[in-house]
Amino acid sequence: MYERNSVAELAEALKRELDRYSPGEKLPSSRALVERFRVSPVTVSRALATLAAEGLVTTRPGAGAFRTAPHAAPVRLGDTSWQQVALSAESAAEAIPRAVDATGVLTTLAEPPPGVIELSGGYLHPSLQPERALAAALGRAGRRPGAWGRPPIEGVTELRAWFAREIGGPAGTLAASDVLITAGGQSALTAALRALAPPGAPVLVESPTYPGMLAVARASGLRPVPVPADAHGVRTDLLAEAFRASGARVFVCQPLFQNPTGAVLADERRREVVRVAREAGAFVIEDDFARRLAHEDAPPLPPTLASDDPDGIVVHVCSLTKATSPSLRVGALAARGPVLERLRAIQVVDSFFVPRPLQEAALELVGSPAWPRHRRNTAAELRVRREALLTALRRELPAVTADFVPPGGFHLWARLPDGTDEDALAAAALRAGVAVASGRPSYPAESAAPHLRLSFASATGVAELAEGVGRLRTAFEDVAGR
Amino acid sequence: MYERNSVAELAEALKRELDRYSPGEKLPSSRALVERFRVSPVTVSRALATLAAEGLVTTRPGAGAFRTAPHAAPVRLGDTSWQQVALSAESAAEAIPRAVDATGVLTTLAEPPPGVIELSGGYLHPSLQPERALAAALGRAGRRPGAWGRPPIEGVTELRAWFAREIGGPAGTLAASDVLITAGGQSALTAALRALAPPGAPVLVESPTYPGMLAVARASGLRPVPVPADAHGVRTDLLAEAFRASGARVFVCQPLFQNPTGAVLADERRREVVRVAREAGAFVIEDDFARRLAHEDAPPLPPTLASDDPDGIVVHVCSLTKATSPSLRVGALAARGPVLERLRAIQVVDSFFVPRPLQEAALELVGSPAWPRHRRNTAAELRVRREALLTALRRELPAVTADFVPPGGFHLWARLPDGTDEDALAAAALRAGVAVASGRPSYPAESAAPHLRLSFASATGVAELAEGVGRLRTAFEDVAGR
């Protein structure tokens, strides 16, 4: 609202001044525009993007913005207003929303504008990514004969076997044939939800939960139904009634280092989840995205739900991406019984298969000496960063406290004082130069209590974490003042 | 039916004999089993897969089949029968089918069993793929700093710009900002269909058309409605009535080297398609998958529909994959207006983004001297192979004729004598050692006339094409004899 007016105003001002620049000439730097117009870096970025979309300006990452040269003719603008009608056309089942809300996903995916500290990211900072090992793995993989050919539809067999061992554990209860390779965790979640629930169906979810999963569910025409969760994971005492009341046949569960709370599902609740689902004739989607993100001081990890599931209640989802690098989009689905065929069919039909070089690079990486070194380094670093963020909060912003200290994952689920507007605070934080995630998109329905989800993985290091908290305090005082 | 009994019988026979082999010991080779049991290679392959699924046998590609060693405990078989009920649960809108039929897709994706000649493949034979150039491109891409980081959500800017020039043509009517990078053409089609049509909605399609698109549409709960096509593409005289009668707001069109017929949409019909869609308030999905598959003797290619579309009627889909290699899953969506935002949101929510190293490798490849060389080589080779297949058909199997000679793409759409059972012929062909695609899955409804879709791209060369036609003749005589 206020933000969007600034963007439109700045875009107008820049448009009026464009004549001062020859075609192809460089416009003032982002920093100069911030100073001159007294707006935030993100406003400048968005205003330039507006002009770029109209073909008036060309932005080149790292180089700056330029008045568009004449040979690159501006796009002929026709009249696309008719599309709004077409895209809003009544759906066959009225319960199905037509808009696709990608906000919750974009928050963690998109890089913030330059100069903005990133406490919102869902990925390891590049300095923590095993870049050299990945480059080497990809080089070796790319040179193999047949490296670019078709992999088997279900994935390279060795990689399926590796995931089967990882997911099934030492008891070896999962076979390679129970595993499908996917293009990362999000693709696996998408396939699982679409396989298990028809459009219009309810699906039980933890509340709060991972906003990206809510976005997928809604985009697929599903209706997320919240089941409250606490420090020990989902409230299994409420689960049976939730199945009964909603008629849902799917529950999406994150038993380990839940996003956003970081909770680990208590032992007795683990058994309950599977038992209650079985009685309801339902599936449990086990989203095990954070298994490789344990901190150095985490207690021994519980096994996966999928490792003890002979009746095929559990559809397991996991991925290598968060533990390595955003572009290593290699994940897995594991399931038993007829549902595996349904999953395979959906995956095949939607996107065929995962490029062979990526699969081979993943195999090379996890089979190299660099892998255990990287795992240990990640575990140690995440612990250091977690503590640095907690310390900075206690020191600078004691009104904002973590519900509890997570022993794994990237996030702190930070409770705000009652009555705080989470979205307004996140917007103010962005203007103050730090990107944080409002807790609101994590709830399928209304927020139980205002939170921020703070990531400690994507900042450059502990100094930036502290600086980020300082900027957050500025924003907090700003919002509290009103 | 007959085939499946053979598989089950062989699986039983092998199971009974398993005790002859120590755990971990190698079973007889595929060839030996074919000889001994007098069944086809595909029967052996499937029977072994059945035993592998039960954990009794472990297959290692290239090495053979082995009795499962004891430490790899057979998967504990629980009772997954309950899943059938859960997966069949009534959908909210009864018109939406629940099963996902991947048959049409798997035919072109899966490698046939060893010894079977592949006239069904949707990819270039490895000898035609630019493997060295790809390996070099990937190596260079992987070594760049930040190669494994997050690309911009919409794709690497340079790659978007490259596609914009390719799709928009020399007039430069498409900007990089109108383009989204996707994980190949199938992902782009999936996003386009899901963006434009709600579950339960009708979507107009050419008849016949690409079975993989029908599979995506059905899996997304859409209802394909056929519009007949002939040697000059879709029958535009029937298009307006089809929109009216069905209420569809999407038409999926392949204007260039249509799959399966190879037809090129006649000039006057190109304008008609867009005009009729505009009057119906509908979108046209332009599936331009074959643009880079023109044969050496093709006439000059028409521009894309998207290159002259100021009102944003057209959503353009294309990909580098078929012209290069199955694992270079890099494609693009191009559109103008509010629909672009809808496409972006769906793509982001479903699968985030395309791994950066793949995008950079694609850029390196199309910017290298190897690229034009590869294009010329592909055009020449495809022409040679097309002619070899036509010649072999005329000589060995004159009862089967191509409807017309396509100037691009991978397929011949071969007409069978009236009354031929296309599926039975394809099954007989497989038993005879050649994989072909029945024409039936190409039709949204019933076959207009029996056809086979024969690919000349995936065989090893002209000799194998001729041998394949010989085996097809055997199967044809077999089926005709009954």
Beta strand B202-207 with B250-253 is parallel
Lowest mean pLDDT among A260-274, B72-86, B103-117, B356-370: B72-86
Same domain, B407 and B461: yes
Among residues A237, A287, A238, which one has the least CA distance to residue A258? A287
pLDDT of residue A93: 37
Sort residue A439 into left (φ over 0), alpha (ψ -120 to 50) or beta: alpha
Residue A179, beta-bridge partner list: A334
Among residues A41, A62, A8, A10, which one has the least CA distance to residue A471? A41
Name the residue in chain B with its Cα closest to that of A87: B196
State both tokens at A315: 């559809």
* Partner residue facing B93 (CB), from A93, A327, A345: A93
pLDDT of residue A78: 74
| Mean pLDDT, rounded, for B203-229 | 93
Sort residue B294 into left (φ over 0), alpha (ψ -120 to 50) or beta: beta
Which helix (H) or strand (E) is A464 found in, with range? helix A462-481
Same domain, B54 and B157: no
Asked if A172 and B134 come within 8 Å (Cβ–Cβ), the reply is: no
Lowest mean pLDDT among A138-142, B187-191, B205-209: A138-142
State both tokens at B366: 């199309």
CA-atom Rg of chain B in angstroms: 24
Residues 91 to 110 of A: which have CB under 8 A from any B CB?
Answer: 91-93, 95-96, 98-102, 105-106, 109-110
Q: Is residue A134, in this structure, part of any structural domain at all?
A: no
Specify the 3-state DSSP secondary structure of B179: strand
What pTM, to 2 d.p., does this model score? 0.78
The CATH number covering residue B263 comes to 3.40.640.10
pLDDT category, B107, cuts 50, 70, 90?
Answer: low
Share of chain A above pLDDT 90, in %: 60
Q: Which of A67, A84, A117 is the last residue of a domain?
A: A67
Long-range contacts (CB closer than 8 Å, 24 or more residues apart) made by B72-77: B72/A172, B73/A171, B73/A172, B73/A173, B75/A173, B75/A174, B75/A175, B75/A178, B75/A336, B76/A173, B76/A310, B77/A310
The CATH number covering residue A54 comes to 1.10.10.10
Most confident of A446-450, A477-481, B177-181: B177-181
pLDDT category, A146, cuts 50, 70, 90?
Answer: confident
Same domain, A230 and A358: yes
* Partner residue facing A311 (CB), from B78, B93, B184: B78
Same domain, A111 and A233: no
Same domain, A286 and A401: no
Asked if B337 and A80 come within 8 Å (Cβ–Cβ), the reply is: yes
Same domain, B387 and B471: yes
Residues 306 to 325 of A: which have CB under 8 A from any B CB?
Answer: 309-312, 324-325
Among residues B472, B395, B462, B447, which one has the least CA distance to residue B260? B447
Mutation target vs A (from B46, B77, B98, B100; most A CBs, 10 A cutoff): B100
Q: Is the pLDDT confidence value at A444 over 70?
A: yes
Q: Is residue A92, in this structure, part of any structural domain at all?
A: no
Residues 157 to 216 of A: which have CB under 8 A from any B CB?
Answer: 157, 171-175, 177-178, 183-184, 186-187, 190, 194-196, 198-201, 212, 215-216
Domains held by chain B: number: 3
Same domain, A392 and A333: no
Q: State the alpha helices, DSSP H only, in B110-238.
A: 131-143, 157-168, 185-196, 211-219
Q: Nearest 5°: CA angle at B254, between B248 and B222?
A: 35
pLDDT category, B264, cuts 50, 70, 90?
Answer: very high
Which helix (H) or strand (E) is B480 found in, with range? helix B462-481
* Residue A89 sits at the chain B interface (C-beta within 8 Å): yes
* Partner residue facing A187 (CB), from B106, B221, B351: B351
pLDDT category, B75, cuts 50, 70, 90?
Answer: very low
Beta strand A283-287 with A250-253 is parallel
Mean pLDDT (chain B) is 87
pLDDT of residue B100: 67
The CATH number covering residue B123 comes to 3.90.1150.10
Answer with the residue of higher pLDDT: A110 or A203.
A203
* Partner residue facing B85 (CB), from A142, A281, A350: A281
| Mean pLDDT, rounded, for A333-353 | 86
pLDDT category, A125, cuts 50, 70, 90?
Answer: very high
Lowest mean pLDDT among A162-166, A222-226, B123-127: B123-127
Query: Which of the 8 DSSP states describes residue B305?
Result: G
Contact A323, A378 (CB under 8 A): yes
Q: State the alpha helices, DSSP H only, in B224-369.
A: 239-246, 267-279, 321-324, 338-351, 356-366
Whole domain around residue B36: which residue ranges? 7-67
Q: Is residue B264, in this structure, part of any structural domain at all?
A: yes
- Tell me which chain A residues have a C-beta less than 8 angstroms from the C-beta of B342: 87, 99-100
Which helix (H) or strand (E) is A224 found in, with range? strand A223-230
Same domain, B303 and B422: no
Query: Which of the 8 DSSP states describes residue B89?
Result: P
CA distance A163 to chain B (A): 15
A/B interface, count of CB pairs below 8 Å: 342
Burial of A106 (0-12, 13-18, 19+ CB in 10 A): middle
How far is Cα B209 from Cα B193, in angstroms, rounded to an integer?
15
| Mean pLDDT, rounded, for A205-225 | 93
Most confident of A5-14, A89-98, B26-35: B26-35
Q: Is residue B83, in this structure, part of any structural domain at all?
A: no
Q: Is the pLDDT confidence value at A105 over 80?
A: no
- Tell me which chain B residues have a C-beta less than 8 angstroms from the C-beta of A147: 131, 135, 327
Among residues A153, A172, A142, which one has the least CA distance to residue A333? A153
Name the residue in chain B with its Cα closest to that of A342: B100
Phi first, then psi, for residue A426 (nearest 5°) are: -65, -40
Q: What is the pLDDT of residues B323-345, one digit of tens each?
A: 999 889 999 999 998 899 889 88
How far is Cα A363 from Cα B77, in angstroms, rounded to an integer?
29
Contact B176, B160 (CB under 8 A): yes
pLDDT of residue B104: 63
Answer with the residue of higher pLDDT: A31 or B194.
B194
Q: Is residue B94, in this structure, part of any structural domain at all?
A: no
pLDDT of residue A254: 98
pLDDT of residue A91: 43
Q: Is residue B357, in this structure, part of any structural domain at all?
A: yes
Beta strand B331-334 with B314-319 is antiparallel
State both tokens at A2: 């206020």
Q: In chain A, helix, strand, coil percent, each to 5? A: 45, 15, 40
State both tokens at A332: 């897995």
HSE, CB side, 13 Å, CA atoms: give it for residue B432. Answer: 22
Asked if A86 and B52 come within 8 Å (Cβ–Cβ), the reply is: no
Asked if B92 and A172 come within 8 Å (Cβ–Cβ), the reply is: no
Q: What is the pLDDT of residues B403-429, one digit of tens each?
A: 889 999 999 999 999 999 999 999 999
pLDDT of residue B47: 79
| Mean pLDDT, rounded, for B64-73 | 67
Same domain, B388 and B338: no
pLDDT of residue A44: 82
- Tell me which chain A residues have a C-beta less than 8 angstroms from the C-beta of B194: 219
Same domain, B262 and B405: no
| Mean pLDDT, rounded, for B62-76 | 63
How far is Cα B257 from Cα B272, in angstroms, rounded to an integer?
18
Q: Which of B334, B368, B402 is the last residue of a domain?
A: B368
Q: Is the pLDDT confidence value at B24 over 80?
A: no
Q: What is the pLDDT of residues B137-166, one digit of tens each?
A: 888 887 777 788 788 889 999 999 999 999
Residues 6+ apart with CB under 8 A from B456: B119, B382, B385, B386, B388, B389, B410, B411, B412, B465
Long-range contacts (CB closer than 8 Å, 24 or more residues apart) made by A417-426: A417/A450, A418/A449, A418/A450, A419/A450, A420/A450, A420/A479, A420/A480, A421/A450, A421/A479, A422/A447, A422/A450, A422/A451, A422/A452, A424/A479, A425/A452, A425/A475, A425/A476, A425/A479, A426/A452
Share of chain B above pLDDT 90, in %: 60
Sort residue B232 into left (φ over 0), alpha (ψ -120 to 50) or beta: alpha
Asked if A199 and B89 come within 8 Å (Cβ–Cβ), the reply is: no
Same domain, A355 and A320: yes
Q: Is residue A81, in this structure, part of any structural domain at all?
A: no
pLDDT of residue B94: 36
Same domain, A233 and A360: yes
* Partner residue facing A148 (CB), from B129, B339, B342: B129
| Mean pLDDT, rounded, for B285-307 | 96
Q: Is the pLDDT confidence value at B388 over 80?
A: yes
ipTM: 0.72
CA distance B99 to chain A (A): 7
Mean pLDDT (chain A) is 87
Among residues B27, B40, B71, which one has the least CA distance to residue B428? B40
Q: Which of B314, B336, B368 is the last residue of a domain?
A: B368
Specify the 3-state DSSP secondary structure of A229: strand
| Mean pLDDT, rounded, for A206-215 | 94
CA distance A398 to chain B (A): 33
- Any idea which residue has 């076997």 for tokens? A161
Asked if B184 and A352 come within 8 Å (Cβ–Cβ), the reply is: yes
Q: Is residue B90, in this structure, part of any structural domain at all?
A: no
pLDDT of residue B422: 94
Longest dimension (CA), chain B: 72
Contact A123, A318 (CB under 8 A): no
pLDDT of residue B61: 60
